Each structure stands twice: as structure tokens, then as C-alpha cells.
Amino acid sequence: MDTNSNRQEHLTPRPTREGQGGGSAFFNPEFETLSRTEIEALQLERLKETVAHCYTNDFYRKKFDEAGITPDDIKTLADVRKLPFTTKQDLRETYPFGMACVPIRDCVRLHSSSGTTGNPTVILHTKKDLDEWANQVARNLWMVGLRPDDVFQNSSGYGMFTGGLGFQYGAEKLGMLTVPAAAGNSLRQIKFIKDFGTTAIHAIPSYVTRLYEVMQQEGVDPRRDTKLKVLAIGAEPHSEEQRKRIEEMMGVKAYNSFGMSEMCGPGVGFECPEQNGMHFWEDYYIVEIVNPETLEPVPDGEIGELVLTTLCREAMPLLRYRTRDLTRVLGRTCPCGRNHVRIDRMRGRSDDMIVLRGVNIFPIQIEKILMKFPEVGTNYLITLITEDNNDQMIVEVEVNEATDDFAKLQALEKEIRHQLGDEILLKPIVKLVAKGSLPVSEGKAVRVVDKRKVFE
């Protein structure tokens, strides 16, 4: 597809407020099709507003004073780097309302995440914040071909978890019939899918797999017995191989969604039909990728920590929020006609990063390679040891398919080691272990055991 002509074609029709989207491929064409120059001009304008708005809050004013800056110091977009970072710790310390930039009576919603350590965190929303949030989600769902005729089943947790209400409001804003199925009760989910003619589902990837297992047990073939055409998956780290597996199982495209309750929730980033990274909406956020240790920006393509600045939030704008998510910039243009930055799927958390002999390694890199081998399971355990003053990585992986042939086991071990070596740039020791002998990982299970000696 020719990039330029495609973009031109969609630039012309400017839909009315009433029929947002209309026959266009864009839900908000006036924002989605901005050129890079236009995006950056808009960002600077909105950054200035946001910074001035933050300056009215005591917490931010104190931070600005400590950094020796005032809102007047923001003259160019690059000046965003003069701003102090905001962290989850800041949210905890100002719990519950210390970072509100509007009176609480102007807020209409609160989402709180429970803290495993210390205070929980609170995110406040005004009416406008909720509407902007819903707009981002609607924009995403429209982007992957959903229209008001579609039936959207949100099989995501509700309550404080933003994946519930976030997708609910977004799907409704688009105009779809929206089913708040919530998570769990797979038999009921399948009944809904069939009875209501569900065409799109949002769920965490592991739940889609579960749903498919139950469909199989019930003799339901998603291709034959349902009208499904789109899956939105997110809120759980997964690899490209896992996504492909899900697409094959369900017979539909699965689009990766990025959300974060601190920003609002889902909506922040979403894949377009090109599936070449998630477009992060730069009319809503300034996206930076920084080295988690030096906090300096890294070049496009290099992995670093995602840092986000909100540009449209009233109740709780966040400046340079350190997400702890590791990812990279894939590009800033796209054949789909959107020039909003394309961000790779999350590569784990900056807290999970392993530094071994000076090389940065993320557990998801290991997972990605292991997924290529059907002979082994997806459970794995990384152990770091010191042997003869040398730090080593041991990767234990479960044998899923037995063989009568020793040579095959040895070749498998060798091939895994070789491919891991190519991926993480140093060769680990690979150990094949019996099926079921490693702890089952549920989401954020401990996959890394560090037994290295700190001093020699």
C-alpha cells in the first residue's frame, strides 16, 4: 500500500462532531492524521498548559522549586526534559488527594490500586477526563474496524481495575452494543458470545486461551459457531508467539492494547491493522524512552523505560511519569496513515531487568525463544550463579514431549542454548527438567533466582 496516497485519501473528509468516524478509517481524523510537525506543535501547546496547571498544586510547585524551574522555562518540546520525573512513590506519598490539580468536588471518579507495599495509589477523574479516556478507547476500537453495528463483550475484570469501565465507556462511546461480561464463568461467556452475536472481545491473553479450552470441551468452534472478528488483548505481558497462537486458536486478529491506570487506563496505546507496534496517542501524551539507570533518552529502537507525560488531564496530570515498563520506539510513521509513535510490546519491567556480565537481559526475551520450541513448555526458571568467579545464567525448562532418542534431547538443549545466545548475547546453561517440576507461573511469578556472589 502506498503510504502517502493512503494518508491523503483520509485527510480530506473532516467528519462532523455528530457522526464521528462516519465512513472514515479514523475515529478522530483531525488528530489521528496529524503530521509529525503538527503533532509536535500541538504537544508543545498542551505541555505548556499542563505544566501551568500542575504549578497550581503544592506537590508539583515544591518539585519545580527543587528543580529550580518555573512553567516559563518550557519553551520547546525538548524542554520537557527539564521537568522532574514523577514516580509511583510520589503517588503513594500524596495519597489520597495530594496530587489533585482541581477541587475534589469537580472529580466524578476515582480508581485506586492496592499497594503490596505502603499506601495504595489513587487516580482521580473529572467528567472531561472520563470523556477523553473513553475517546481514546473508542479511537482504538474504531481503528481495528469496529463500528456501531458490532457487539462488544468486555471479559475483563471490573471494579477498580480500569480494563472494565475503561473499555465499557469506550465501546459505548463508539456506539457498540456493549456486554459487561466481566472476567470468569467461561460457560456463560460462551453462551453470551453465541446468543448476542458478539463480534469483539476484550480480555487478558491468558483468559482468551482459557476461553478457547472451554470452547473445545463444549464442542464450540469459534470460526464456525461465533461471529467473532476482533480480539483486544492487554494488561498482561505476552510475546508475539503467544499472540499468534491466540489468533490461530480463535481464527481472528488479536490486537495488543496498552493501558495504565496512572494515565487513565486502557486507551493509551493500541495496534492498528498493520500490527507493527502500538500507536501511542501523542495528542494525549508525550512519550519518552529513557535509560532506567542514567534517565537519559535512548535512541529510537533501543530498549529503555517508558516515561509518559499526560497532556489533556484535568484532575491529575502527571509529568514524566516513570512507568517502569521496558519497551522501545519502532517508528514514527505508519502505512495506516497515523504518525503517532509506534511502541513495541512491553519487554517486562525495569525492576525485572537482569544485568549479567554487563548485558541487560529481560525475562520476556527468554520466553520468546522458548515459545518457538514445541518440545518444551512455557514454564521456565532463570537462576544466576557464580562459578569460578564467573557469573552464569542457568535456564531450566520443562520437557513437554518425550522422545526415545538421546541425541534429540541433546540437540534440543544445544539449539535452545544457541538461539538464546543469539537473543541475549551470552550463552546460558540450558537444563531440561521433567514436566511439572517447575513452579507454575501465574502472571508475575518469580522466574529469576539470583544466587550470585556480590563480592569476590
Partner 1 sequence: MTVHQLSIFIENRSGTLIKVLEALKAANIQIIASTIADTAEYGIYRLICSEPMRACEELKKANVAVALSDVFALAIDDKPGRAADAVKTFSEAGISIAYMYSFLLRGKGILIFRTDDNEKAVKVIADNQLQSINEADLSELA
Which residues would be at the binding site for Zn ion (CB under 5 A)?
272, 274, 334, 336, 338
Q: Which residue's CB is nearer to partner 1, number 70 or number 400?
A: 400
* Residue 453's binding partner out of partner 1, Zn ion, none, with CB under 5 to 8 Å set by partner kind: none
Q: How far is the CB of 406 from partner 1 (least distance, A)?
A: 6
* Residue 334's binding partner out of partner 1, Zn ion, none, with CB under 5 to 8 Å set by partner kind: Zn ion
Q: How far is the CB of 402 from partner 1 (least distance, A)?
A: 4
* Residue 404's binding partner out of partner 1, Zn ion, none, with CB under 5 to 8 Å set by partner kind: partner 1
Q: How far is the CB of 279 from Zn ion (least distance, A)?
A: 6
Q: How far is the CB of 337 from Zn ion (least distance, A)?
A: 7
* Residue 431's binding partner out of partner 1, Zn ion, none, with CB under 5 to 8 Å set by partner kind: partner 1
Residues that bind partner 1 (CB under 8 A): 398-406, 409, 431-437
* Residue 403's binding partner out of Zn ion, partner 1, none, with CB under 5 to 8 Å set by partner kind: partner 1
* Residue 401's binding partner out of partner 1, Zn ion, none, with CB under 5 to 8 Å set by partner kind: partner 1
Q: How far is the CB of 440 from partner 1 (least distance, A)?
A: 11
* Residue 355's binding partner out of partner 1, Zn ion, none, with CB under 5 to 8 Å set by partner kind: none
Q: Which residue's CB is nearer to partner 1, number 87 or number 209?
A: 209
Can you read off the three cell numbers belonging to residue 349? 519491567
Q: Counting beta carbons within 10 angstroms of the beta carbon of residue 191, is it exposed (0 to 12), middle (13 to 18) or buried (19 or more)? A: middle
Q: Which residue's CB is nearer to partner 1, number 434 or number 454?
A: 434
Q: Which residue's CB is nearer to partner 1, number 228 or number 412?
A: 412
Q: How far is the CB of 207 from Zn ion (least distance, A)?
A: 26
Q: How far is the CB of 397 from partner 1 (least distance, A)?
A: 12
Q: Which residue's CB is nearer to partner 1, number 29 or number 428?
A: 428
Q: Which residue's CB is nearer to Zn ion, number 201 or number 334?
A: 334
Q: Which residue's CB is nearer to partner 1, number 438 or number 448?
A: 438
* Residue 18's binding partner out of Zn ion, partner 1, none, with CB under 5 to 8 Å set by partner kind: none
Q: How far is the CB of 409 from partner 1 (least distance, A)?
A: 7
